[in-house]
Structure 1
Amino acid sequence: MSTNSSDVQTLMHIGGFSSGYEEHLRHLGQYLVPRLPELTDRFYECLLANELTCPYVERRVEQLKKAHIAWLTELFSGDYGEDFMARQRRIGEIHVAVGIPPPFVASSMSFLRSAFPNEIEIIARSLGEPIGICTGMILRLLDLCQYLIDSAYEAERMRRLTAATGMSPALLENLIALRPVTKQKSIMG
């Protein structure tokens, strides 16, 4: 799976992530960004408490927390253009390079999808903003980020398949395309 512009545009269109979200997320960020260090602390407590994820973070917690807070802060920058998307893809490439298993990325995003609604509820209530709309914006943005990050895992799998089989990436893409195969009618019936 390669992430091209039409794939991303389709995800954004069907998922309902509109260009109008930029200002709303920037505004929401003014109130959420100060809460991100505590959210990050809770996230790393979960990682450190899990025997499978702990070895990936235990010796670099403070460095990783800083990077995590910076990433979360960027989510509220209001700029979701190609540079933002390239940075999300790069995050995926880094995760692939250091050997972070894909389920850990999915679990991390799941943590955020469950934590952000509580954070947003507190802020949205105090601002008189619609909680559901604010929550929906964040969840759609996290979906976009996960799609872009996951694309690095797919690209690595494709690279390995190409190297192992000698087949071109285009041929492999055609072989594994997720399009329905139409059955040919037989001349017998």
Structure 2
Amino acid sequence: MSNDFDKLTRYAKSFSGLTPEREALLVEVGTQIKPKLAGITEDFYQQLLSIPEASAFLEGRVESLKKTHTRWMEGLFTGPFDKNYTEQMYKVGDVHVKVRLPVEFMAGAMTLINNRLIALIVETYGDDNRHCAEILAAVSAVTGMTLLVMQQSYQAASLAEELEKFLKISGMSRALFTNLATAYKDK
């Protein structure tokens, strides 16, 4: 998928089920949820630091990462989830690619975040099962959309890496490859 962020937004929302109604619900509950997100961030980084494979990526950066993470989580309950959000999350994924964070860390991290958000939502809204279930579905949708977008960065990096390998092995110049690709595309 190219960097057409409108298209990527629609694609990610279609898989995650992030509807306008769910977006509105996230914003609606945001006033109650956002004040509690710093605690989730603290717990999240405490968990990450206890995982040896993950802690190496955090060395010397935990405090600044916590601030960024809390702002991102607040954005989950603020919106909008438009092409600008998608572009921002794609760039976050791209940063993860550049620091060579294994792709599975993002899925694992999102699971840790979702577990804490589920507990918070149930604690806050558990007395109304239907409403609580709707909020949980909205949280799942927005974190699913976010993860899908961030993983697109890994996909793009993988394709670029494969192209570089092909060019090196074949001895073909990038210019020749681009010309051939363009000629083929027009047919």
With structure 1 as the length reference, what TM-score do the two structures score?
0.81
- 3-12 vs 144-153, which moves further: 3-12
Distance 1:12 1:47, change over 3 A: same
Inter-partner Cα distance in structure 2 for 1:154 and 1:18: 25
Inter-partner Cα distance in structure 1 for 2:30 and 2:151: 25
Bigger fraction of residues in helix: 2
Give percent identity, aligned residues only. Answer: 21
Inter-partner Cα distance in structure 2 for 1:90 and 1:110: 20
User: Displacement of 1:49 after TM fit?
Assistant: 0.8
Q: Deviations over 1:85-128 (max 9, x none)?
A: 11010100111111211111111011112221111112223688
User: Displacement of 1:8 after TM fit?
Assistant: 4.0
Kept in 1: contact 2:41–2:69 (CA 8 A)? yes
Q: Deviations over 1:5-59 (max 9, x none)?
A: 4454244235422112232111211111111111011111111111111111131
Inter-partner Cα distance in structure 1 for 2:127 and 2:37: 18
Q: Deviations over 1:40-82 (max 9, x none)?
A: 1111111111111111113111111001101111111130111
Matched, 1:23 2:24: yes
The answer for the alignment partner of 2:184 in structure 1 is none
The answer for the alignment partner of 1:9 in structure 2 is 10
Structure 1 gaps, min length 5 = 172-189
- Equivalence map 1:137-148=2 (5 Å): 137-148=138-149
Report which structure shows greater RCO (CA 8 Å, sep ≥6). Answer: 2
The answer for the alignment partner of 1:186 in structure 2 is none
Query: What amino acid sits opposite 2:152 in the alignment?
Result: S
The answer for the alignment partner of 1:104 in structure 2 is 105
Inter-partner Cα distance in structure 2 for 1:14 and 1:88: 16
Q: Structure 1 residue runs of 4+, over 3 Å off?
A: 1-8, 125-129
- 124-133 vs 40-49, which moves further: 124-133
The answer for the alignment partner of 1:117 in structure 2 is 118
Inter-partner Cα distance in structure 2 for 1:133 and 1:117: 12
User: Displacement of 1:132 after TM fit?
Assistant: 0.7
Inter-partner Cα distance in structure 2 for 1:17 and 1:153: 22
- Equivalence map 1:22-101=2 (5 Å): 22-101=23-102
Query: What amino acid sits opposite 1:64 in the alignment?
Result: L
Kept in 1: contact 2:23–2:138 (CA 8 A)? no
Inter-partner Cα distance in structure 2 for 1:54 and 1:72: 21
Kept in 1: contact 2:9–2:86 (CA 8 A)? no
Number of corresponding residues: 170
Inter-partner Cα distance in structure 1 for 2:106 and 2:2: 18
Inter-partner Cα distance in structure 1 for 2:88 and 2:128: 31
Kept in 1: contact 2:16–2:142 (CA 8 A)? no
